[in-house]
Amino acid sequence: MADKDNGAGAAAAGADEAEPNRALTINAQYIKDLSFENPRAPLSLMQPQTPDLQVNVDVRAGALGGDRYEVVLVIHARATAQNETLFVVELAYGAAVTLTNIRQEDMPQALLVETPRLLFPFARAIVADATRDGGFPPVFMQPINFSELLRRQAATQPEAPAANA
């Protein structure tokens, strides 16, 4: 979008130059916890079934000190058929991030939307590999709208802080 310069353009440009560079830096990514359970093996693998798959996703963030934070993307998937559990996979996939010159009001967006958006493809691959290695077809989760998750969380807990910062 282009704005016409009505004399305010130079002032706006000067304000942008005065604002320091903002950055979200992922310092490390890691599996914090991974569990795969196949309680009915080998029977569950020998009978062709169309499972009912339920996937729950949560994002947690906490301060590590200074401008460093830990963000953990938690994925819990359970497949059932005929009221019996076929498999359960639980993943806590974390990242240590540094937020540079991020305003306080932008912290929830950076920690609970942008960081998990960057982590999700890696976590998705881990879940797919775990289910495939467990003897089932890989679970390929659809992309997640983390902005919508944050909005829903804010609607259910309006007084709670969005990030444990």
Give 37's strand partners.
88
- pLDDT tens track for 23-62: 999 999 999 999 999 998 888 777 777 889 999 999 999 9
Structural domains of the chain ordered from first start = 21-156 (3.10.420.10)
23-37 sheet: strands from edge to edge: 23-37, 84-100, 68-81, 52-65
Give 73's strand partners.
59, 93
Return d(Cα 30, Cα 118) in angstroms, integer: 13
- pLDDT tens track for 97-124: 999 999 999 999 999 999 999 999 999 9
Instruction: Select the more confidently predicted residue: 137 or 16.
Output: 137
Tokens 């080998």 belong to which residue?
42
